[in-house]
Amino acid sequence: HTMKFTNKPEGLCDTPEPLLSSLDIFLFSLIAGLLIYWFFFRKKTEPVPEIKPFTPVTPQIRETSFIEKMKKTNRNIVVFYGSQTGTAEEFANRLAKDAQRYGMKGMAADPEEYDLSELSRLKEIPNSMAVFCMATYGEGDPTDNAQEFYDWMQGTDDDLEGVNFAVFGLGNKTYERFNATGKYTDKRLAELGGKRVFDLGLGDDDINLEEDFISWKEQFWPAVCEFFGVEATGEDSSIRQFELVVHNDINMNQVYTGEMGRLKSFQTQKPPFDSKNPFLATVTGNRKLNKGGNRHLMHIELDITDSKIRYDSGDHVAVYPTNDAAVVNGIGERLGVDLDTVISLKNLDEESNKKHPFPCPTTYRTALTHYLDINNMPRTNVLYELAQYASDPKEQENMRKMASASPEGKALYQSWVLDSERNILAILEDLPSLNPPIDHLCELLPRLQARYYSIASSSKVYPTSIHICAVVIEYTTKTERVFKGVATNWLKNKEVTDNGHKLTVPMYVRRSQFRLPFKPSNPIIMIGPGTGIAPFMGFIRERAWQKEQGKEAGETILYFGCRHKNEDFLYQQELEEFERAGVLTQLNVAFSRDQEHKIYVQHLLKKNKQLWKLIHSNNAHIYVCGDARNMARDVHTAFYEIAEEVGGLTHTQAVDYFKKLMTKGRYSQDVWS
Instruction: Find out whether 179 is annotated in a ligand binding site.
Output: yes
b/e code 145-181 from CB counts within 10 Å (16+ = b): bbebbbebbeeeebebeebbbbbbbbbbebbbbbbbb
- Span 543-559, average pLDDT: 96
Summarised one tens digit per residue, pLDDT across range 137-194 is 988 899 999 999 999 999 999 999 999 999 999 999 988 889 999 999 999 999 999 9
Candidate from 31-35, 384-388, 581-585, 601-605 with smallest mean pLDDT = 31-35
Q: Does residue 475 have a pLDDT over 60?
A: yes
pLDDT of 352 > 50? The answer is yes
Distance CA 494, CA 504 (A): 8
pLDDT at 41 over 80: no
Instruction: Give me the mean pLDDT over the 566-571 stretch.
Output: 96
**For position 4, what pLDDT does the model report?**
30
Q: Report which of residues 40 and 351 the model is more confident about.
A: 351
Q: Is 284 helix (H, G, I), strand (E, B) or coil?
A: strand
For the chain, what percent of residues have pLDDT higher than 90?
Answer: 83
Instruction: Compute the distance between CA of residue 522 and CA of residue 510 in angstroms, rounded to an integer.
Output: 25
Spatial contact of 109 and 77, defined as CB atoms under 8 Å apart: no
Task: Give the three-state DSSP class for 168.
Answer: strand
Q: Is the pLDDT of residue 14 over 80?
A: no
Active-site residue, from 360, 545, 625, 627: 625
Q: Is 453 within any annotated ligand binding site? A: yes
Are the CB atoms for 463 and 389 separated by under 8 Å?
Answer: no
User: What pLDDT is attached to residue 501?
Assistant: 84
The answer to whether 43 and 74 have CB atoms below 8 angstroms apart is no
Cα distance between residue 260 and residue 258, in whole Å = 6
Q: How far is CA 526 from CA 14, 62, 472, 560, in A?
A: 76, 50, 24, 8
Average pLDDT score over residue span 87-100? 94
Q: In the structure, what pLDDT confidence band is assigned to residue 485 with cuts at 50, 70 and 90?
A: very high
Concerning whether 454 is annotated as a catalytic residue, the answer is yes
Distance of CA 467 to the CA centre of its chain: 19
Residue 173 counted as an annotated binding residue: yes
User: Does the annotation flag 172 for ligand binding?
Assistant: yes
Q: Over range 129-142, report the average pLDDT.
A: 94
At what angle are helices 147-155 and 180-191 packed, to 10 degrees? Answer: 40
Q: Can you list the pairs that 565-568 forms with residues at least 24 positions away whose Cβ atoms lie under 8 Å?
A: 565/589, 565/591, 565/594, 566/291, 566/292, 567/290, 567/291, 567/292, 567/293, 568/289, 568/290, 568/291, 568/292, 568/293, 568/295, 568/297, 568/530
pLDDT in tens, 642-668: 999 999 999 999 999 999 999 999 999
The whole-number pLDDT of residue 35 equals 61
The pLDDT of residue 223 is above 70: yes
Identify the pLDDT of residue 673: 78
Average pLDDT of 562-583? 97
55 in a labelled binding site: no
Query: In the predicted model, is pLDDT for residue 44 greater than 50?
Result: no
Mean pLDDT, the chain, as a whole number? 91
Q: For residue 81, what are the β-bridge partners?
A: 133
Residue tagged active-site, from 110, 303, 373, 670: 670
Cα dihedral 320→324→330→336 (10° resolution): 40
Choose the weakest-confidence range: 38-42, 47-51, 131-135, 511-515: 47-51
The answer to whether 351 is annotated as binding is: no
- Looking only at the bridges linking them, the beta strands covering 667-672 and 621-627 are parallel
Does the annotation list 35 as a binding residue?
A: no
Told to judge if 562 belongs to the known catalytic residues of this protein, a careful annotator would answer: no
pLDDT at 174: 86
User: Which whole number is the average pLDDT over 617-637?
Assistant: 95
Split at pLDDT 50, 70, 90, the class of 6 is: very low
On the question of pLDDT at 238 being above 90, the answer is: no
Which residues partner with 170 through β-bridges? Answer: 135, 203
What is the model's pLDDT at position 175?
86
Identify the three-state secondary structure at position 159.
coil
Side chain identity at residue 283, one-letter code: V
To the query of whether residue 352 is one of the catalytic residues in this protein, the response is no
Residue-range domains of the chain with CATH: 66-228 (3.40.50.360), 270-321+450-512 (2.40.30.10), 322-448 (1.20.990.10), 524-671 (3.40.50.80)
- Strand pairing class (242-246; 342-347): antiparallel
Q: Is 571 annotated as a binding residue?
A: no
Say how far apart CA 590 and CA 565 lie, in whole Å: 9
In this prediction, what percent of the chain has a pLDDT beyond 70? 90
Within a 10 A sphere around the Cβ of 539, how many other Cβ atoms? 24
Question: pLDDT digits over 205-220, tens only?
Answer: 988 999 999 999 999 9
Q: Residue 350's pLDDT is what?
A: 84
Average pLDDT of span 299-303: 98
Q: What is the pLDDT of residue 289?
A: 97
Comparing 28-32, 215-219, 225-229, 360-364, the range with the smallest average pLDDT is 28-32
Strands 482-484 and 242-246: unpaired
> Which residue in the list 199, 275, 349, 672 is annotated as catalytic?
672
Does the annotation place 454 within a ligand binding site? yes
559 is in an annotated binding site: no
Does the structure show a pLDDT above 50 at 260? yes
Q: Which of 120, 128, 265, 454 is catalytic?
A: 454
Please indicate whether residue 10 or residue 33 has the higher confidence score (pLDDT): 33
Identity at 457, one-letter amino acid code: S
AA letter at 641: E
